[in-house]
Amino acid sequence: MQDTGLNILAIAIFSLTLSVLLGPLLNISPAIPASLTFVMLGLITIDTLSWKNQGVNLLLNIFASSEQKERIIYHEAGHFLTAYLYQIPIIDYSLSAWEAIKKKNTGSGGVIFDDSFLKEKSLDLKEFNLIIERFGVVLMAGIAAEKLIYNHSEGGQDDQQKFQEIYSNLTLTYSNFQVKQRLAILQATSMIEKNKESYLALVEAMKKRQSVTECQAIIQKTLNIT
């Protein structure tokens, strides 16, 4: 959400600058936009450094449309389903910044994984690479799910950053990294399409904010049918 915060900051500064320029015409005191600029910069700085952009996330949630909120559910269900299929432990999930705050999590929400396996030192190189590839697929599954349902993806910037982080210790050229990312999206798409009944059932369960255990049971039930 850092890019979003910077965009909001840029818009705010532009608006305040415009108010300064138009102030004399509208009989607005120069002290008013100056004070607003100081307060806004202070709040954005505090939000970025101390609240990890929670304020920006809450603001975005307030003005989010019903379609945007529904898109988030389809996005997160992609993460959830692929993680379950790869047996990657899921701790919890939230679908908005406010839900994340209530659960004392940071960020705008999402599926929270137990990724301690990435630090497991007993794995050999082949096992470690397999885990990295699978976790990469899970990270790209939100983008894949959005593209599958809406034909394009609006979210996933944080997922792409995390994807880059888990591959940062491996020696990859930029082109090879891009190939890895595209393959991960293709693999996630294939998994969701193959288990679409489970995926859609999971979406409905997450809309009702059912627990992780309940969501996993729903996936397992529909997998047994297909």
Domain boundaries 66-225, corresponding CATH code = 1.20.58.760
Does the pLDDT at position 78 exceed 80?
yes
Q: What is the pLDDT of residues 37-73, one digit of tens each?
A: 655 555 555 545 444 555 555 555 655 577 888 999 9
Q: Work out the pLDDT band at 3, boundaries 50, 70, 90.
A: very low
Token duo for residue 147:
């593209």
Q: Higher pLDDT residue, 136 or 61? A: 136
Q: Higher pLDDT residue, 225 or 159? A: 159
For residue 91, report the phi and psi dihedrals to the nearest 5 degrees: -85, -50
Give the pLDDT confidence score for residue 226 in this predicted structure: 44
Q: If you count them, how many residues does the chain have?
A: 226
Q: Which residues contact 224 (CB under 8 A, 6 or more apart)?
A: none
Q: Which residues contact 141 (CB under 8 A, 6 or more apart)?
A: 78, 79, 81, 82, 83, 188, 191, 192
- Rounded to an integer, what distance in angstroms lies between the CA atom of residue 83 and that of residue 202? 13
Q: pTM of the predicted model, to two decimals?
A: 0.74
Give the pLDDT confidence score for residue 102 in this predicted structure: 78
Contact 205, 214 (CB under 8 A): yes
Sign of CA dihedral 57, 213, 76, 209: negative
Q: Mean pLDDT: which of 51-55, 129-133, 185-189 is highest?
A: 185-189
DSSP 149: H
C-alpha gyration radius of the chain: 21
Give the pLDDT confidence score for residue 68 in this predicted structure: 82
Question: Token match 């993680």: residue?
Answer: 83
Token duo for residue 4:
């979003």
What value does the mean pLDDT take over residues 138-155? 93
Q: Mean pLDDT: which of 83-92, 95-104, 160-169 is highest?
A: 83-92
Does the pLDDT at position 13 exceed 90?
no
Q: Where are the domains of the chain?
A: 2-50, 66-225
Does the pLDDT at position 220 exceed 80?
yes
Q: Mean pLDDT: which of 43-52, 98-107, 119-128, 131-140 is highest?
A: 131-140
